[in-house]
Amino acid sequence: MKKKIVALTAIAVLSVGAAGQASASSVHTVKSGDTLWSISQDNNVSVQDLQDWNDLESTLIYPSEELKVEDKVKKHVVVKGDSLFKIAKKHNLSVDELKTWNNISGDLIFPGDQLVLDGAKVASAHTTAKPASNKAKAPAPAQSQSQSTAKASAPAPAAVQTSASVKEMTVTATAYTAYCPGCSGTTATGIDLRANPNQKVIAVDPSVIPLGSRVWVEGYGEAIAGDTGGAIKGKIIDLFMPKEQDALNWGRKTVKIKILD
């Protein structure tokens, strides 16, 4: 989509997207005007999920085409002000259940985190793991006292906590609108921004952030990576704003983002 980038300086305000759960449906028949993005929003799944489930190499779809829309594990996306106790109470669960199902050892959670709310599905996934071998292990060879002392004095390696599903980075963020000279109002992935002015969409460099990804942006909230731009290269993103004044107020900022999926 052709658009202009508006640059002024402003103060960032932290905001996050709303929590959601996956819906349950099986097949969607494509209608005229449908896009993968609109179908993903109707079914609370990601564009990447739809592409994976239907072996789609691009975001192009055609009327009368049937797309699989599969069930996903129920999840809660953490927003500002959430706590494990509040989430557990809302979904009629215990805090211990939430911590066990999501492998949480402490009590800290952060905006953008996704918490599994269905322990049965987590358990079923674990049952596919191979059982431990029942064979007795051979006794370890005896060690000299000097060897034992040396090993005991060596410090244990520090535990490193990683998240395979969330990637964080710092980027430069500008802003744009759908109502500028030469703008079509339709993104590279087919999202009609003029028909959906409240949709949070960002333009990205697909080599850095894959199109269709859900991305949490500091000061903007959770958005879909649904557009590209000639000036959007490397760690630069462009935020869609419904009003030109909002884009002017945003200007150009350095912000933190999380690629959620």
- The answer as to CATH 3.40.50.300 being correct for domain 167-259 is no
* Gap between the Cα atoms of 146 and 148, Å rounded: 5
**Cα–chain-centroid distance for residue 148?**
47
Q: Class assignment of domain 27-68?
A: alpha beta
Give the domain ranges of the chain: 27-68, 167-259
Question: pTM above the 0.75 mark?
Answer: no
* Gap between the Cα atoms of 238 and 231, Å rounded: 9
DSSP labels, the chain: -----B----------PPP-------EEE--TT--HHHHHHHHT--HHHHHHHTT-SSS---TT-EEE------EEE--TT--HHHHHHHTT--HHHHHHHTT--SS---TT-EEE--HHHHHHHHTTSPPPP-SPPPPPPP--HHHHHHHHHSPPPPP----SS-EEEEEEEEEE-S-STT--SB-TT--BTTT-TT--EEE--TTTS-TT-EEEETTTEEEEEEE--TT--SSEEEEE-SSHHHHHHH-SEEEEEEE--
* Gap between the Cα atoms of 223 and 211, Å rounded: 11
Which one-letter amino acid corresponds to residue 224?
Answer: I
From first to last of the 261 residues of the chain, give the pLDDT tens digit. 544 444 333 333 333 333 344 344 578 899 988 898 888 888 777 888 788 778 888 888 888 888 887 655 577 888 888 888 888 888 888 988 888 888 888 888 888 888 888 765 554 444 333 333 444 444 445 454 444 444 444 454 444 444 455 789 999 999 999 887 777 789 988 888 988 888 999 999 999 999 989 999 999 999 999 999 888 999 999 999 999 899 899 999 999 999 988
* N-term to C-term CA, the chain: 23
Query: What b-and-e string marks burial along 168-202, b requiring 16 or more CB atoms within 10 Å of the CB?
Result: eeebebbbbbbeeeebebbbbbbbbbeebeebbbb
